[in-house]
Amino acid sequence: MLPLIPWPTEVVEPAATATGPAALALPAVRVDAPAGLTAVVAELVAAAGVPVSDHDTDGPAVPFTLRLDPAGGPTGSDGSQSPERYTLQVTAAGIEATAPEPVGLLHAARTLRQLVVRPADGAAGGTPSTVPVVVVRDAPRHSWRGLSFDVVRHWFGPDDIRAVVDLVGAFKLRVLHLHLTDDQGWRIEIPSRPELEKASDNQVGGGSAGYLTADDYRDLQEYAAARFITIVPEFDMPGHVNAATHVYGALTADGLATDAYDGIEVGFSRLWFDNPATEPFLRDVIGDLARMTLGEWVHVGGDEVLTMDHAEFAKFVDLAQQIVREHGKTPVFWQEGARGPVEPGTLLQYWEPKGEEFDRFVAAAHAGARFIMSPGNHAYLDMKYTPEHPLGLHWAGYVELRDSYDWEPTTVIDGLPASAVEGVSAAVWTETLTTRDELFSMLLPRLGAVAEVAWTSPQAKDFDAFAARTAAQAPSWRAVGWTYHPTPQVTW
């Protein structure tokens, strides 16, 4: 059993014979990769505990050769070829990765990282790590594989966000969606609206917090992009806006700024479409956010506006969608966006089972909307594992590891065409999470389960095997300081 998460398309292990080694020793690895990839690949090799050698003269080093090659990776039974496909081949002579695109080469290096076996505790000093002789041919099922991360309810700054980028990368996810604005705080500099900084120093329970400067945001996106991860920023509107109305009284019905809010209720704050201050605010914020964003998408929220009629809400969806498109980006909304006039290509993020809305979702799909599946009862990693769990919420139920694993994204919404599913996103909201360790203990091991739902074909999924692979990965999490919850569903 190889400890790979997500499980790949095809794994070929040679039958054990007397003629060849079952594993290759890795005293050191020499990386030979296309320009621009060498540093991140070396970082992954080092994270696996294997020394990276720069020169032949450093002593024995195993070559890890990464080559762009359209022949790398598998072809689906229907002839389909994912641009993320790759092949990783470990032989007695060395390690080779081939892929048509750089992202595939990086996936191959991530697979290698998971395959490395560290010397057993108590092994003689100098005992090298090893890697099994194997061929892995692999490609993802869905292209949108992400994590939605609330950095508002409790502030998580650039260092924590970079750690989360590393974690999502380890499971071959491609998207980190940052929930940047909400009732409690405003977490990003908007150059045309510098006053918003006044709403950054607050969070759930009060206390000091912060926000990303434009420079922080650019650096983070570049860090993520070097790892083929796209940051998708979210400005949540027309609800969840108390941070904005705290700064700009002109946005409220009575013209008075609202008080800062440090509780965890939702649904009470709102914008007013006919207020003359509203559209300029949306244009400034969405415009700046789009200009500052390297990736293709801008998320404009739309969830839980509990005090607005549908007609007014639809006007917000229409306007936000137009502004995002005017800036050359693709809009993303929470599922409530389906109540507005969604256009082809607009993405809707499903999160809550509301049967009476399913017809609307299906209609939106037929109108060309694409769906990101984040069902609360499977993919919300801020839900408690069990009733006794000290952290998290439970409005969507208790979400144990198996709940995060055993679900099928194309059948969550009755009647939705499977072809309308763009992919899957886990989500972690931070009302109850205050430290990186708490955050990671909610993400691990469940993020691996959601990643496997997004990547692996349903026929190849197997919870018991997944649980065993999870246990086998835990030492590598401990080695890099990633805290995880030792759920009893895994024999650690």
297 near ligand TNX, rule: CB under 6 A: no
Closer CB to ligand TNX, 214 or 393, in the complex: 393
C-alpha distances in angstroms, 238 versus 304, 377, 441? Answer: 9, 25, 32
Which amino acid is present at 456?
A: T
Closer CB to ligand TNX, 84 or 303, in the complex: 303
**d(C-alpha 105, C-alpha 97), whole Å:** 6
To 10 degrees, the CA torsion angle through 310, 311, 313, 316? 160
What would the DSSP string read from start to end of 89-116? Answer: EEETTEEEEEESSHHHHHHHHHHHHHH-
Nearest to 346 by CA among 303, 310, 296: 296
Query: Which residues within the stretch 103-122 sit at the binding site for ligand TNX (CB under 6 A)?
Result: none
Beta carbon of residue 111, minimum distance to ligand TNX (angstroms, whole number): 32
382 near ligand TNX, rule: CB under 6 A: yes
**d(C-alpha 76, C-alpha 73), whole Å:** 10
**d(C-alpha 40, C-alpha 108), whole Å:** 12
Beta carbon of residue 124, minimum distance to ligand TNX (angstroms, whole number): 49
Query: Which residues within the stretch 17-36 sit at the binding site for ligand TNX (CB under 6 A)?
Result: none
Q: Which of 197, 279, 304, 312 is catalytic?
A: 304
Beta carbon of residue 235, minimum distance to ligand TNX (angstroms, whole number): 13
Beta carbon of residue 251, minimum distance to ligand TNX (angstroms, whole number): 19
391 near ligand TNX, rule: CB under 6 A: no
The sheet with strand 94-99 has its strands ordered as 10-12, 134-138, 86-91, 94-99, 62-68, 29-32
Closer CB to ligand TNX, 358 or 463, in the complex: 358
Closer CB to ligand TNX, 177 or 402, in the complex: 177
Helix or strand or coil: residue 380? Answer: strand
Beta carbon of residue 420, minimum distance to ligand TNX (angstroms, whole number): 19
Active site residue 304: yes
Query: Which residues within the stretch 306-345 sit at the binding site for ligand TNX (CB under 6 A)?
Result: 334
* Interface with ligand TNX: number of residues (CB under 6 A): 11
Beta carbon of residue 301, minimum distance to ligand TNX (angstroms, whole number): 8
**Phi then psi dihedrals of residue 138, to 5 deg:** -150, 150
DSSP category for residue 463: H
CA 373, chain centre distance (Å): 12
Look at strands 347-350 and 175-179 and give their pairing: unpaired
Closer CB to ligand TNX, 351 or 477, in the complex: 351
**d(C-alpha 15, C-alpha 35), whole Å:** 36
Query: Which residues within the stretch 253-292 sit at the binding site for ligand TNX (CB under 6 A)?
Result: 266
393 near ligand TNX, rule: CB under 6 A: yes
Closer CB to ligand TNX, 173 or 204, in the complex: 204
Closer CB to ligand TNX, 319 or 348, in the complex: 348
The structure tokens listed for 155 are 């502030």
**Contact yes or no for 89/95 (Cβ under 8 A):** yes
303 near ligand TNX, rule: CB under 6 A: yes
**Contact yes or no for 49/479 (Cβ under 8 A):** yes
Q: Which of 380, 440, 466, 484 binds ligand TNX (CB under 6 A)?
A: 380
**d(C-alpha 57, C-alpha 71), whole Å:** 33
Beta carbon of residue 6, minimum distance to ligand TNX (angstroms, whole number): 24
**d(C-alpha 396, C-alpha 479), whole Å:** 33
Closer CB to ligand TNX, 52 or 243, in the complex: 243
Nearest to 189 by CA among 289, 333, 275, 300: 289
Q: Which residues contact 279 (CB under 8 A, 6 or more apart)?
A: 319
403 near ligand TNX, rule: CB under 6 A: no
Beta carbon of residue 403, minimum distance to ligand TNX (angstroms, whole number): 15
**Binding string, 343-362, against ligand TNX, x = CB under 6 A?**
--------x-----------
Beta carbon of residue 380, minimum distance to ligand TNX (angstroms, whole number): 6
Closer CB to ligand TNX, 255 or 397, in the complex: 397
304 near ligand TNX, rule: CB under 6 A: yes
**d(C-alpha 399, C-alpha 383), whole Å:** 6
The structure tokens listed for 344 are 């082809």
**d(C-alpha 397, C-alpha 377), whole Å:** 6
**d(C-alpha 158, C-alpha 148), whole Å:** 16
Nearest to 321 by CA among 379, 225, 432, 237: 237
Query: Which residues within the stretch 446-465 sit at the binding site for ligand TNX (CB under 6 A)?
Result: none
Beta carbon of residue 431, minimum distance to ligand TNX (angstroms, whole number): 6
385 near ligand TNX, rule: CB under 6 A: no
Query: Which residues within the stretch 122-141 sit at the binding site for ligand TNX (CB under 6 A)?
Result: none
Closer CB to ligand TNX, 189 or 431, in the complex: 431
- Based on its alpha-carbon atoms, the radius of gyration of the chain, rounded to whole angstroms, reads 23
429 near ligand TNX, rule: CB under 6 A: yes
149 near ligand TNX, rule: CB under 6 A: no
Give contact residues for ligand TNX (rule: CB under 6 A): 150, 266, 303-304, 334, 351, 380, 382, 393, 429, 431
Q: Which residues are catalytic?
A: 304
